[in-house]
């Protein structure tokens, strides 16, 4: 009773004339981060002059207690904010009493059915005994010639009628008994859930303040909650002439904080609500020089991959150092968290200091935006409502109408299918975070993919699945070996065959690759390909040095069968005549895996 009185008095102090169970104050603004949310409540109350304290009850289950912060209007000084929680036992509720009554009634009915089944079993046993008595008696009377057929018929019919009635009643009783057992199990489970929730935790913020004068005033209470986050998702549509790309940017929000947010100003943010006030500790860097020693020279692609890995490790160490676990445990991060970031940063700097000039320049062209370093806010228009529930909720951030260039991609080494794609430039003011997309072509679902981070002004590529009216094939047309001095020279010729069943010509980007030879053991030469390779600047800078080949081919309309568009290209390998091409080395397979993972990350996977 004293506890209830304290809650009622606290509600009266903050000036909230609300029914029991309603939250004091009003949630007005929520900023949703990737793993938490910052909630702001506005509370109006009648202050008295001087020192006093307020109790704001009804804080959510997933609150981060150390994040509580309060600010007041002019003339209101906040001295301290303290969090407290108390477990209280509620009185039995009407729902529990109703369940108990149903459980008791079903129990009584179940006992009545048990009694009825016992009587039916006794009746069955009696009929068995009666039948056992009638049959031998009738046989004796028939032998002596004194059998009464009418009496025997009546007894027989009575036995069968009784058995039929007995079986029907027993079946009905068994079915009702099973139904009662099932209903009882459900009610008892629900009763157990109610019983478990009868012990409730009251979460409150106690605000110690001082008012310069008496009167109506207002304060804001802010706090972080866990169990909240959001991720980007996209719907892309391509229709008509394939020259306009409609991209809808959505936010998929998870909200399981334990409190509802009705009619709030909602902002989605990619920033990190760190609570650690100290900046990272930067240590000095020492490098070493060794006479006559030379580091192994890394290619631009390998350099960019290692640079990306180290940057990711640095950000991970920083996140641990700034992590919420230290705040929740009211402790500072251990020195290892700051040290880890310094070690990875030292490795990154050493990599950059040792790399050749041309590698640095080329790797800069490969570098993309890092999503982890992008801090952006998306204010939602108007006011929104989000309930605390397990299923996800979706909101649209923006709808972009972008100029697009459609083309087709073929990788006949891996697949005979030809894929549709478009290129566009993000000409909007909205940066697009990495996330999945659903693609629709002419109103029909075309497939799924992932969009990488696309900054404002940056180009993006969207895939729209396979085009069934195009096919691409690749075959080894010729292999020719000859000996030149101490070396053997092997020439390979491959032939591409493109089929277009459409009524208009299309542009197809065809990809293939040359073998790569480590340690200069093999000389690889591309023999003047015709048609020539693509002159796209990005391809020339990033992919051509890695041995990837790309042709931009215009395939004529209705080019199929004997009219299929075909062309060939050749390359040669030259190596010691005493050597042969062996199995793929494990190091090569590991390198291929790293390349694929790097490319998938660049595409947003």
Same domain? 234 vs 210: no
In this structure, are 175 and 202 located in the same domain?
Answer: no
Residues 125 and 70 in one domain: no
Query: pLDDT tens digit string along 455-500?
Result: 888 889 898 988 889 999 999 999 899 998 889 999 999 999 999 9
Q: Is residue 113 domain-shared with residue 37, that is, in the same domain?
A: no
How large is the average pLDDT for residues 358-379? 63
Predicted local distance difference test score (pLDDT) of residue 325: 42
Residue 529 scores a pLDDT above 70: yes
Mean pLDDT along residues 275-296:
62
Structure tokens at 321: 């150092």
Instruction: State the total domains in the chain.
Output: 4
Flag whether 383 is in a domain. no
The reported pLDDT for the residue numbered 1 is: 38
Q: Are 509 and 519 found together in one domain?
A: yes
CB-count burial class (<10 Å; 0-12, 13-18, 19+) for 323: middle
Contacts of 457 (CB under 8 A, 6+ apart): 425, 426, 427
Classify residue 395: in a domain, yes or no.
no
For 108, what's the count of Cα atoms within 13 Å in the CB-facing half-sphere?
Answer: 5
- Residue-wise pLDDT for 5-48, tens only, equals 343 333 333 333 333 333 468 899 999 998 899 999 999 888 89
- Same domain, residue pair 528 and 462: yes
Do the beta carbons of residue 462 and residue 451 sit within 8 Å?
yes
Residue 388 lies inside a defined structural domain of this protein: no
Q: Identify the band that residue 321 occupies on the pLDDT scale cut at 50, 70 and 90.
A: low
pLDDT band at 280 (very low <50, low <70, confident <90, very high): low
Q: What is the mean pLDDT of the chain?
A: 80
- Let me know if residue 389 belongs to a domain: no
Domain hosting residue 217, numbered range: 2-90+198-226
Helix, strand or coil, per DSSP, at residue 474: strand
Q: Are residues 530 and 415 in the same domain?
A: yes
Q: Flag whether 245 is in a domain.
A: yes
Let me know whether 80 and 157 are in one domain.
no
The answer to whether residues 474 and 541 belong to one domain is yes
Residues 330 and 424 in one domain: no
Nearest-angstrom CA–CA distance, 600 and 605: 5
Beta-carbon-side half-sphere exposure of residue 238 (alpha carbons within 13 Å): 24
Q: Which residue has the higher pLDDT, 477 or 319?
A: 477
CB neighbours of residue 516 within 10 Å: 12
In this structure, the chain runs to a length of 605
**Which of 192-196, 236-240, 251-255 is the most confident on average?**
251-255
Amino acid 498: pLDDT: 94
Cα distance between residue 576 and residue 522, in whole Å: 8
Determine, yes or no, domain membership for 384.
no
Query: How high is the pLDDT of residue 290?
Result: 64
Per the domain annotation, does 399 fall within a domain? no
With respect to residue 387, please indicate whether it lies within any of the assigned structural domains: no
Note the helical H segments in 236-334.
Answer: 300-321, 324-328
Q: Looking at 175-189, 321-335, 383-397, 538-552, which range is the least confident one? A: 321-335
141: helix, strand or coil: helix
CATH of the domain at 53: 2.60.40
- Do 166 and 307 share a structural domain? no
Of the candidates 595, 598, 410, 411, the residue with the CA atom closest to the CA atom of residue 516: 595
Query: Averaged over 63-85, what is the pLDDT?
Result: 89
Residue 251 confidence (pLDDT):
92
Q: Is the pLDDT of residue 115 over 70?
A: yes
- The pLDDT score that the predictor gives to residue 567 is 94
Per-residue pLDDT for 375 more than 80?
no
CB of 466 closer than 8 Å to CB of 415: no
Q: What is the pLDDT of residue 40?
A: 94
**Residues 59, 204: Cα–Cα separation, whole Å:** 6
Report the share of the chain in percent with pLDDT over 90.
Answer: 25
Residue pair 475/495 in contact by the 8 Å Cβ criterion: yes
Task: Give the whole-angstrom CA distance, residue 24 versus residue 12.
Answer: 10
| pTM for the whole structure | 0.65
Q: Supply the Cα-derived Rg of the chain in whole angstroms.
A: 39
- The C-alpha angle 438, 440, 442, rounded to 5 degrees, equals 175
Query: Residue 196 — very low, low, confident or very high, per pLDDT cuts 50/70/90?
Result: low
Q: Are 406 and 243 in contact (CB under 8 A)?
A: yes
Most confident of 271-280, 326-335, 518-527, 528-537: 528-537
In this prediction, residue 145 carries a pLDDT of 59
**pLDDT tens digits for range 150-190:** 666 776 777 778 778 888 888 888 888 888 888 888 888 88
Q: Is a pLDDT exceeding 80 seen at residue 298?
A: no
Q: Do residue 242 and residue 363 come from a single domain?
A: yes
- Give the count of beta carbons closer than 10 Å to the beta carbon of residue 46: 13
What is the pLDDT, as a whole number, of residue 426? 93
Helix orientation angle between 300-321 and 335-354, rounded to the nearest 10 degrees: 160
For residues 358 and 217, the answer to whether their CB atoms sit within 8 Å is no
What percent of the chain has pLDDT above 70? 78
Mean pLDDT (whole number) for 575-591: 78
Residue 102 has pLDDT above 90, yes or no: no
Specify which residues 489 forms β-bridges with: 482, 574
């Amino acid at each position: 009773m004293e506890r209830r009185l304290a809650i009622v008095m606290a509600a009266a102090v903050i000036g909230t004339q609300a029914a029991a169970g309603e939250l004091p104050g009003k949630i007005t603004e929520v900023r949703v981060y990737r793993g938490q949310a910052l909630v702001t409540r506005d509370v109006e109350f009648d202050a008295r002059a001087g020192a006093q304290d307020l109790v704001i009850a009804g804080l959510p289950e997933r609150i981060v207690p150390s994040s509580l912060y309060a600010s007041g209007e002019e003339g209101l000084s906040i001295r301290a904010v303290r969090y407290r929680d108390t477990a209280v036992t509620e009185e039995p509720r009407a729902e529990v009493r109703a369940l108990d009554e149903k459980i008791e009634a079903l129990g009584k009915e179940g006992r009545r059915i048990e009694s009825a089944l016992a009587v039916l079993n006794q009746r069955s046993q009696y009929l068995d005994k009666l039948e056992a008595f009638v049959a031998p008696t009738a046989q004796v009377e028939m032998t002596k010639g004194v059998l009464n057929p009418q009496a025997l018929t009546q007894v027989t019919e009575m036995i069968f009628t009784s058995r039929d009635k007995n079986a029907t009643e027993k079946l009905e009783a068994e079915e009702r008994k099973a139904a009662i057992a099932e209903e009882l199990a459900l009610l008892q489970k629900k009763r157990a859930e109610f019983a478990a929730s009868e012990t409730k935790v009251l979460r409150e913020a106690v605000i110690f303040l001082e008012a310069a004068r008496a009167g109506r005033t207002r304060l804001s209470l802010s706090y972080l909650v866990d169990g909240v986050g959001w991720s980007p998702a996209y719907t892309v549509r391509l229709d008509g002439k394939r020259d306009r790309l409609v991209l809808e940017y959505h936010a998929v929000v998870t909200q399981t904080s334990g409190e509802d947010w009705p009619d709030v100003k909602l902002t989605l943010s990619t920033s990190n609500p760190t609570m650690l006030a100290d900046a990272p500790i930067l240590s000095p860097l020492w490098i070493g020089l060794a006479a006559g020693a030379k580091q192994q020279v890394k290619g631009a692609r390998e350099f960019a991959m290692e640079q990306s890995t180290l940057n990711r490790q640095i950000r991970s160490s920083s996140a641990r150092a700034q992590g919420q676990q230290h705040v929740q445990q009211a402790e500072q991060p251990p020195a290892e968290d700051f040290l880890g970031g310094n070690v990875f940063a030292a490795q990154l700097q050493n990599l950059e200091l040792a790399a050749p000039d041309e590698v640095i320049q080329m790797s800069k062209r490969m570098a993309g935006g890092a999503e982890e370093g992008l801090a952006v806010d998306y204010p939602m228009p108007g006011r929104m409502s989000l309930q605390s529930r397990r299923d996800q909720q979706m909101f649209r951030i923006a709808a972009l109408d972008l100029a697009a260039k459609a083309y087709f991609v073929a990788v006949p080494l891996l697949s005979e299918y030809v894929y549709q794609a478009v290129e566009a430039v993000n000409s909007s003011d909205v940066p697009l975070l990495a996330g999945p997309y659903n693609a629709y072509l002419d109103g029909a679902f075309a497939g799924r993919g992932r969009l990488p981070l696309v900054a404002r002004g940056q180009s993006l590529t969207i895939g729209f699945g396979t085009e069934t009216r195009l096919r691409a094939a690749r075959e080894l047309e010729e292999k020719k070996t000859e000996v030149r001095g101490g070396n053997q020279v092997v020439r390979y010729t491959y032939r591409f065959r493109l089929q277009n069943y459409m009524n208009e010509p299309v542009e197809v980007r065809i990809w293939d690759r040359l073998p790569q030879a480590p340690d200069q053991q093999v000389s690889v030469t591309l023999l003047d390909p015709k048609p020539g390779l693509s002159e796209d600047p990005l391809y020339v800078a990033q992919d051509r040095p890695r041995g990837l080949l790309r042709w931009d081919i215009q395939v004529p309309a209705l080019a199929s069968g004997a009219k299929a568009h075909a062309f060939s290209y050749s390359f040669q390998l030259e190596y010691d005549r005493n050597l042969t091409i062996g199995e793929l080395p494990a190091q090569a397979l590991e390198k291929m895996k790293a390349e694929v993972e790097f490319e998938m990350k660049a595409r947003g996977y």
